A and B are shown apart, each in its own frame.
Chain A
Amino acid sequence: KNQVEQSPQSLIILEGKNCTLQCNYTVSPFSNLRWYKQDTGRGPVSLTIMTFSENTKSNGRYTATLDADTKQSSLHITASQLSDSASYICVVSALGQAGTALIFGKGTTLSVSS
């Protein structure tokens, strides 16, 4: 069964600190992996997309890694800011005969406090 598991479920950090969010998946056949940021009361917004051959990708203070062998991804946030408080959702695309299916994780809720 295609699944995406994220950890931790929630995280509280102080402003300026770094943090790492984890995503483990069992999705086949794998197409790509995206990290989305969802602010409270808003829709998700894509941060990064990674394909099978990519190990790391950065978007400002966000750096995503992908290990296709172990089927793990991480999202590292450096020098956190209050505006980083949001839910971070890992989404894996599976490419099948019927087309592309997206498998969503439950998300990690990050709270950055001053």
Chain B
Amino acid sequence: ETGVTQTPRHLVMGMTNKKSLKCEQHLGHNAMYWYKQSAKKPLELMFVYNFKEQTENNSVPSRFSPECPNSSHLFLHLHTLQPEDSALYLCASSHKSREQFFGPGTRLTVL
């Protein structure tokens, strides 16, 4: 699990705040992913980056803004979130389309 790290592990923010989630992978992978995991729901793929280029955006609201400065780092910038955005946000990485390795997640609570 230390191959993919995420910070912070827990985040509480108000609806008017701006915050960022960070993900770093030490596995030499070229693809990185953001997922949202809500209670009683399957993981929802949000964004996919291949070689730093965004290749997938699953109709995610613009209040979520991803950034991938290089193949090892991935950010998710948050602003004017809603309470229903409270969830566990998971980052994953893979070599091409092979097995995805997940980070520990950031537990986000929006007040």
Binding site for B on A (CB under 8 A): 4, 34, 41-46, 49, 89, 93, 99-100, 102-107
Given known pairs A34-B99, A49-B99, A102-B100, the reply for A41 and B41 (CB within 8 Å) is no
Name the distance in Å between A64's Cβ and chain B's nearest Cβ: 15
- A43's partner among B40, B45, B97, B103 (CB-CB below 8 A) is B103
Name the distance in Å between A53's Cβ and chain B's nearest Cβ: 18
Name the distance in Å between B99's Cβ and chain A's nearest Cβ: 6
Bound complex: CA A107 to CA B107 (Å): 18
Name the distance in Å between A5's Cβ and chain B's nearest Cβ: 10
4 residue pairs, one from A and one from B, having the closest CB atoms: A43-B102, A104-B42, A100-B97, A104-B43
Residues of B57-111 whose CB lies within 8 A of A: 90, 92, 97, 99-105, 107
Q: A89 near B105 (CB under 8 angstroms)?
A: no
Given known pairs A102-B45, A104-B43, A106-B42, the reply for A41 and B102 (CB within 8 Å) is no
Q: B105 near A41 (CB under 8 angstroms)?
A: yes
Q: Is the interface of A mostly helix, strand, loop or mixed?
A: strand
Bound complex: CA A93 to CA B4 (Å): 22
Bound complex: CA A89 to CA B41 (Å): 11
On chain B, the residues within 8 Å of A107 by CB distance are: 42
Bound complex: CA A105 to CA B44 (Å): 10
Q: B41 near A106 (CB under 8 angstroms)?
A: yes
On chain A, the residues within 8 Å of B45 by CB distance are: 102
Q: B42 near A42 (CB under 8 angstroms)?
A: no
On chain A, the residues within 8 Å of B100 by CB distance are: 102
Bound complex: CA A102 to CA B43 (Å): 10
Given known pairs A34-B99, A49-B99, A100-B97, the reply for A42 and B43 (CB within 8 Å) is no
Residue of B nearest to A32 (CB): B99
Q: A43 near B43 (CB under 8 angstroms)?
A: no
- B1's partner among A42, A89, A102, A105 (CB-CB below 8 A) is A42
On chain A, the residues within 8 Å of B40 by CB distance are: 106
Residues of B8-63 whose CB lies within 8 A of A: 40-43, 45, 55
